[in-house]
């Protein structure tokens, strides 16, 4: 059971890792001169589903999507507790690592270069001052759509690792892990995995496209989520808190 769980989690981890790997393969790099197209606007709303405070709503909606998968309501309640634990642990790791590595975001490096300042000076300011600095810069950039300017002003933290990526990867790992754990192979379970996979992949794509992260940020973030959830589900499998459905 534990080895099968490891294989399933690793398979979908590989799926997410393909995003940064393909970026490296094709030598794509984010640039502040890239033009945003109208069709990319939905990608912004998708990335916002992983931003505070919308991420809290996302967690609630996703937790409800799991309800039909469990044969008993008490199993679902226990699963929700596991989901909450997952979010606290992974986002806590993210915050700790960001403060430890203090890597500037790609778009912050671009703004610093364009304004003749340094990333060190930028991050020496408090968060409110950083947001105002970014907002003032993008007010002069007529080619940048209004819908992304506010996002830049709110995302003035550090780059490594990616909180949005860990968030998305964690929900995919939770989906795959619980489906494997309870032995649910019905169409609804498969549909949920397919939905979470697409959502997570597009989340990673959006973080690169909007200049929020480097490929290495995404890769390590996915691996962090994989490791945390392998530990969680290995523990749950051994304890047999969830009984397989027939």
Residue 238, token pair as written in the block: 């051994």
Residue 103, token pair as written in the block: 């890597």
Catalytic residue among 41, 151, 213, 229: 213
User: CA 145, CA 151: separation in Å to the nearest integer?
Assistant: 11
Catalytic residue among 41, 151, 164, 229: 164
Residue 51: asked if its preceding bond is cis (omega within 30°), the reply is no
Is residue 151 part of the annotated active site? The answer reads no
Residue at token pair 């000076």: 121
Helix, strand, coil percent values for the chain (each to nearest 5): 75, 0, 25
Question: Which residues, 6+ apart, have CB-to-CB distance to 110 below 8 Å?
Answer: 31, 32, 211
Is residue 213 part of the annotated active site? The answer reads yes
Residue 130, token pair as written in the block: 């950083």
For the annotated catalytic residues, the residue numbers are: 164, 213
């Amino acid at each position: 059971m534990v080895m099968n769980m490891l294989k399933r989690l690793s398979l979908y981890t590989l799926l997410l890792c393909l995003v940064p790997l393909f970026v490296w393969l094709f030598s794509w790099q984010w640039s502040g001169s890239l033009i945003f197209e109208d069709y990319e606007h939905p990608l912004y709303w998708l990335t916002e589903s992983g931003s505070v405070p919308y991420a809290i709503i996302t967690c609630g909606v996703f937790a409800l999507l799991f309800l039909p998968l469990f044969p008993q309501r008490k199993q679902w309640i226990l699963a929700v507790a596991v989901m909450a634990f997952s979010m606290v642990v992974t986002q806590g790791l993210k915050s700790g690592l960001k403060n430890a590595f203090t890597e500037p975001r790609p778009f912050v490096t671009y703004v610093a270069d364009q304004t003749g300042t340094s990333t060190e000076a930028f991050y020496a300011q408090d968060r409110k001052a950083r947001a105002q600095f970014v907002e003032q810069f993008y007010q002069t950039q007529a080619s940048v759509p209004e819908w992304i300017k506010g996002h830049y002003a709110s995302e003035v933290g550090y780059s490594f690792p990616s909180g949005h990526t860990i968030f998305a990867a964690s929900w995919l790992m939770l989906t795959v892990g619980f489906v494997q754990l309870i032995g649910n192979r019905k169409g609804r379970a498969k549909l949920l995995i397919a939905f979470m996979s697409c959502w997570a992949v597009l989340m990673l794509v959006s973080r690169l496209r909007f200049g929020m992260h480097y490929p290495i940020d995404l890769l390590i973030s996915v691996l962090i989520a994989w490791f945390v959830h392998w530990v969680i589900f290995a523990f749950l499998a051994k304890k047999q808190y969830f009984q397989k459905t027939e």
